[in-house]
Structure 1
Amino acid sequence: MDQPEDVASPPVARLATTLLATSLLGRLPQAMSALALVRIVIDGGGGYAFAGALTGGYVVASTVGTPLLGRVIDVTGRSRAVLLASGVVSTAALLGLALLVTAAPPAAFLLALVAGFAFPPLEPTLRSLWPRIMAPGAQLARAFGADAAAQEVLFILGPLLAVAAAALLGATGGVQVMAVAGLIGTVLFCTHRLLRDRVATSEGREAHPSALRTRAVRTLIVAQVAAGLPIGVLTISAARLAAIAGESALNGWALAVNAGGALTGALLIARFPPRIAPERALRILLVLLALLYLPTAAFGLTPAVWLAGASLAGLCLPPLLTQVFAITATTPQASLTEANGWVISAFSVGIGVGTALAGVLAGSVLAIIGASVVALLGAMYASPSRLGARPPMPG
Structure 2
Amino acid sequence: MSHSAGLADYRAALTTPGARGPVLASLVGRLPIAMVGLSLLLYVQDSTGSFATAGMVSAGTLVGVAIGSVAQGRLMDRVGPSRPLLGTVGLFALFVTLGITAVEQAAATWLLVVLGFAIGSTEPMIGSASRAMWTRLVPPGPVRTAAYSYEAISMEVFFIVGPALSGVLVAAPWAGTGVVLGAAFMILGGVAFALMPTIRSYRPPVRAGGGSLLGPLASPGMKTVALAAAGFGVTIGFVEVAVPAAATQAGSPPMGGVLLGVWSVSSVLFGVYYGTRPWPRPLHLRIPVLLAGFALLLTLLAIPTSLVWLAIALLVAGTLVTPQATAHSAALEQVAPPGTITEAFGWVITAVTLGLALGQSVSGQLVEHVGVWSAYLAAAGAGLLIAFAVYLRRHTVLAGVPTQPVPALV
TM-score normalized by the length of structure 1: 0.81
Q: Distance in 2 between matches of 1:46 and 1:160?
A: 21
Change (3 A) 1:236 1:92: closer
SS in 1 for 2:319: coil
Q: Is 1:333 aligned to residue 338 of structure 2? A: yes
Q: Is 1:138 aligned to residue 142 of structure 2? A: yes
Cα offset, 1:186, TM superposition: 0.7
Match of 1:193 in 2: 197
Matched ranges for 1:285-296 at <5 A: 285-296=290-301
Q: Is the 8 A contact 1:208 1:335 kept in 2?
A: no
Q: Is 1:269 aligned to residue 274 of structure 2? A: yes
Code of the residue aligned with 2:70 in structure 1: it is P
- State which drifts further: 366-375 or 234-243: 234-243
Q: Distance in 1 between matches of 2:168 and 2:18?
A: 30
Q: Distance in 1 between matches of 2:45 and 2:248?
A: 22
Match of 1:119 in 2: 123
2:392 to 371, 378, 381: 381
Cα offset, 1:341, TM superposition: 0.8
* Sequence identity percentage: 25
Q: Distance in 2 between matches of 1:235 and 1:10?
A: 32
Cα offset, 1:140, TM superposition: 2.2
Q: Is 1:63 aligned to residue 74 of structure 2? A: no
Change (3 A) 1:170 1:187: same
SS in 2 for 1:334: coil
Change (3 A) 1:207 1:91: same
Match of 1:342 in 2: 347
Code of the residue aligned with 2:303 in structure 1: it is A
Code of the residue aligned with 1:60 in structure 2: it is V
Q: Distance in 2 between matches of 1:218 and 1:86?
A: 27
Show CA shifts across 1:44-77 (max 9, x none).
x544355444333222211121112212222x32
Change (3 A) 1:208 1:16: farther
Matched ranges for 1:1-395 at <5 A: 12-13=15-16, 15-38=18-41, 40-41=43-44, 45-48=47-50, 50-74=53-77, 76-103=78-105, 105=107, 109-159=113-163, 161-162=165-166, 170-171=174-175, 174-195=178-199, 196=201, 198=203, 204-206=208-210, 210-238=215-243, 251-252=256-257, 254-273=259-278, 276-299=281-304, 304-330=308-334, 331-358=336-363, 359-360=365-366, 362=371, 363-364=373-374, 366-391=377-402
Unaligned runs of 5+ in 2: 1-11, 406-410
Match of 1:5 in 2: none
Q: Distance in 2 between matches of 1:39 and 1:266?
A: 28
Q: Is the 8 A contact 1:131 1:329 kept in 2?
A: no
Cα offset, 1:283, TM superposition: 3.3
Code of the residue aligned with 1:105 in structure 2: it is A
Code of the residue aligned with 1:31 in structure 2: it is A
Cα offset, 1:12, TM superposition: 4.1
SS in 2 for 1:390: coil
Show CA shifts across 1:261-284 (max 9, x none).
222222223444568343333233
Q: Distance in 1 between matches of 2:164 and 2:178?
A: 11
Change (3 A) 1:233 1:50: closer
The alignment covers a number of residue pairs equal to 383
Change (3 A) 1:254 1:168: closer
Show CA shifts across 1:76-100 (max 9, x none).
3232111111111111211232334
Q: Distance in 1 between matches of 2:106 and 2:317?
A: 42
Cα offset, 1:200, TM superposition: 6.8
Change (3 A) 1:179 1:228: closer
Q: Distance in 1 between matches of 2:292 and 2:329?
A: 18
Change (3 A) 1:393 1:302: farther
Code of the residue aligned with 1:367 in structure 2: it is A
Q: Distance in 2 between matches of 1:168 and 1:26?
A: 22
Code of the residue aligned with 2:158 in structure 1: it is L
Q: Distance in 1 between matches of 2:362 and 2:234?
A: 9
Cα offset, 1:168, TM superposition: 7.0
Q: Distance in 1 between matches of 2:128 and 2:381?
A: 30
